[in-house]
Chain A
Amino acid sequence: MRNIWIIWRKEMNSYFVSPIAYLLLTMFGLIFGFFFWNALGYFALMGMESQMRGQMFPMNLNEQVIRPLLSNASVVGLFFIPMITMRLFAEEKRSGTMELLATSPIRDLEVILGKWFAAVTLYACMLLFTALNFAFLFKYGNPDWKPLAIGYLGLLLQAGGLLAIGTFISTLTKNQIIAGAATFGVCLLLWVLEWVSGYETATWAQVLAYMSVITHFESFAKGVLDTKDVIFYLTVIFLGLFFTARSMESLRWRS
């Protein structure tokens, strides 16, 4: 436990000593802010239109602003995940510090968990940044906070899974760029897999669509906590970390 904390501290330190954390936070904040004010502007327009027509559309912040925003955040997040994880192991392998970690009295799993938690923490910081926008909503409207909380949980779970995959890919190479590019490819693939369900309903298409991380985010965006989807993400996290552990082990046997 203590060792996980030591590694976590070290990783957080190196994120925030270099510009990478600030860059990611700023970019994510800007992009999300843009989406937010867009959605809000659109919402306001809709509200005015419906008033002018004299109809009383049920206007709902949760349905019309928060839900699409959460979906957007989940997609935007896919682009940021590789930048968070690419250095985790690749950098250690390149600079030879892996030799320090591997010869210290600390288990592989502790190293992996420390690193993965640090990645998740950075992602959570990014989300926290976006929460400022929602604070605005709470000030001037009264959205339901529960679906929002569930949405955020979904974002974290989804990112947790992808970060675990990214961590795994980072163990495969010494080259950060390769790790980043490969992770990006996988993230993108896990997103677009869902598209096959648009035109095909055969079993293979269903399986592919099922594997898409976006499919499972739907329920969270709606504010529904669906156990199946929670389990899906937890499985991805577990598999990602499991393969990371296997990879670290085989690294020694192969190299």
Chain B
Amino acid sequence: MITVKELTKRYARNTAVDHISFEVQKGQIVGFLGPNGAGKTTTMRMLTCFLPPTAGGATVAGFDVLEQPLEVKKRIGYLPESPPLYPEMETGEYLSFVGKLKGLSGAELGKQVDYVCERCAVADVKNKLLGKLSKGYRQRVGLAQAIIHNPDVLILDEPTAGLDPKQINETRELIKGLAGDHTIILSTHILPEVEQTCEQVIIINKGKLVATDSVHNLQNRARGAETVLVEIAGRNGSLEMVAVQSRLQQIAGVSRVQFKTSHGNRNVFEIESQKGFVRGDLARAVVEAGWDLNELRPAAMSLEEIFLQLTGSEAPTEQAATKGAQ
């Protein structure tokens, strides 16, 4: 659906996007991940024909962004970084204006306006001036305007920025619900968002492509092993760290046991196992030793860590700790 080849954008001083290539299949949700200034917005602007690339090219829905921009624009819904709203318009009026811009008219226009108002939960501000909406509502109206013409491709630049937690979840659900019929690229620097919403992730840093893979693969790839977090408490208050460590170490398959934190007598250990399923053995070992097993959960390596590993930016304490351990 989207093919990007050697896409490059140079500004006077710097190169914002540097020879990026990737592909997005129809119906996928792709997370576009990168720290501030990575070039996410710039890439999206090139895909939406807002900016022409300096070199390379891209096709959207089979049309070249440079050769047939009008055809591309017809098939794209775009939510820019800041929602493009006219403060002097009312929500309903604005949505119908955008609908007309995108080529809707008549009964269909009315139907779509009602539909997106419903879908993006802006029906209650339909007659309010956009200039008087709160940030979250502005964002929702921005999203509503992006999907009004039911586009094949949705390009969303930080769609959940400025929303409240409930709305963030609703928006993620909405985006997931849109996938299938629509191909979606969303940019974010919130990692859980990618983990929750996207199937595919494209990581860029300083304009360069760092990784592109499915979220699942990427999590596995960064560390072949499974990591489990266990929270253990001593029965009579105190707990011998060394004893715990050595006991856990004995379990078959465990390659590393590391003490993480403790709150009072509750101690959290991070256990890395070679492969396979060690959780059962772990639980039994803890209970047999007479400790309380408060919690046992898989610490699937968060994208944050993957991201830090891949982009090689200065990692906070965790990476320093890992280095120290090595």
Contacts and interface: CB of A to CB of B under 8 A. Distances in A.
A98 B48 CA distance: 13
Nearest to B90: A17
Contact of B145 (A6, A14, A100, A107): A100
Interface in A7-23: 10, 13-14, 17-18
Interface residues of B, number: 29
Contacts of A99: 45, 50, 78, 80, 84
Contacts of A102: 49-50
Question: Chain A contact residues: over half helix, strand or loop, or mixed?
Answer: helix
B70 A105 contact: yes
Contact of B97 (A10, A105, A107): A10
Nearest to B131: A95
A102 B69 CA distance: 10
B48 A95 contact: no
A104 B50 contact: no
A106 interface: yes
Interface of A: 3, 6, 10, 13-14, 17-18, 95-107, 252-253, 255
B299 interface: no
Interface of B: 45, 48-52, 70-71, 73-74, 76, 78, 80-89, 97-98, 100-103, 145
Given A103-B50, A104-B73, A252-B50, A95 B103 contact: no
A101 B102 CA distance: 10
Contacts of A3: 101
B80 A253 contact: no
A100 B84 contact: yes
A18 B88 CA distance: 8
B51 A96 contact: no
Contacts of A98: 84
Nearest to A100: B84
A226 B103 CA distance: 42
Contacts of A252: 50-52
A253 B76 contact: no
Which 9 pairs between the two chains have the least Cβ-Cβ distance?
A100-B84, A105-B73, A104-B101, A97-B84, A105-B74, A103-B48, A99-B80, A17-B88, A103-B78
